[in-house]
């Protein structure tokens, strides 16, 4: 079993190239004759969160400890630590608990939040410290949110199996 935090690193390798494009203008549509209006698709209903196991911080840390024995780097969590998360982002949604931070400074939070609820909670906090709004997508049963401030990157990613998420800021 791969540690949840290790999964985050693998995901970061996929996310970072796409985050660099955040905020860049989209290609302009070439001017030309107007085309017939196409009916817009009906708005999609909110995505239901996948079935994830509810975990306490003690359970989550125990799982990480077990998988840390086989990890390439130290994935254990320091209980009560926010790691490198800026003070202004150190807010917990209702029904959430801080589990701690790993050796890379990523905070792990036990929480049932998913999708739009996670995005709407953290977007104002990131904007307060100068980040662009979070852009979230749901893929492979997890919410993946990123935002950018100059070269810094804010990331919020839910765990696929457990009701938990990782909150981190990468300063570049």
Domain extent at residue 61: 4-15+52-170
Q: Is residue 148 part of a domain?
A: yes
Q: Taking residues 104-129, what's their average pLDDT? A: 96
Q: Is residue 80 part of a domain?
A: yes
If one counts the domains in the chain, the total is: 1
Cα dihedral 54, 59, 63, 66 in deg (nearest 10): -160
pLDDT tens for residues 34-80? 444 444 444 444 667 789 999 999 999 999 988 888 888 788 899 99
State the pLDDT at residue 158.
Answer: 97
Q: Is residue 37 part of a domain?
A: no
pTM above 0.95, yes or no: no
Express as a percent the part of the chain with pLDDT over 90: 63
Q: Is residue 23 part of a domain?
A: no
Tell me the residue ranges of DSSP E strands in 14-151. 97-101, 107-110, 135-139, 142-149
Task: Return the number of other C-beta atoms located less than 10 Å from residue 135's C-beta.
Answer: 16
Q: Is residue 26 part of a domain?
A: no
Rounded distance between C-alpha atoms, residue 156 and residue 147, angstroms = 9
């Amino acid at each position: 079993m791969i540690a949840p935090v290790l999964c985050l690193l693998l995901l970061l390798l996929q996310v970072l190239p796409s985050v660099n494009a955040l905020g860049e203008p989209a290609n302009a549509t070439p001017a030309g004759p107007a085309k017939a209006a196409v009916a817009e698709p009906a708005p999609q209903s909110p995505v239901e969160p996948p079935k994830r196991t509810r975990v306490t911080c003690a359970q989550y840390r125990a799982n990480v400890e077990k998988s840390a024995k086989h990890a390439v780097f130290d994935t254990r969590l320091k209980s009560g630590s926010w790691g490198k998360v800026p003070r202004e982002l150190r807010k917990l949604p209702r029904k959430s608990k801080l589990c701690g931070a790993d050796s890379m400074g990523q905070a792990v939070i036990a929480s049932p939040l998913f999708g739009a609820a996670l995005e709407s909670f953290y977007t104002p906090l990131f904007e307060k410290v100068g980040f662009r709004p979070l852009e979230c997508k749901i893929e492979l049963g997890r919410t993946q949110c990123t935002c950018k401030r100059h070269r810094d990157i804010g990331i919020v990613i839910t765990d696929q199996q457990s009701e938990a998420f990782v909150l981190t800021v990468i300063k570049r």
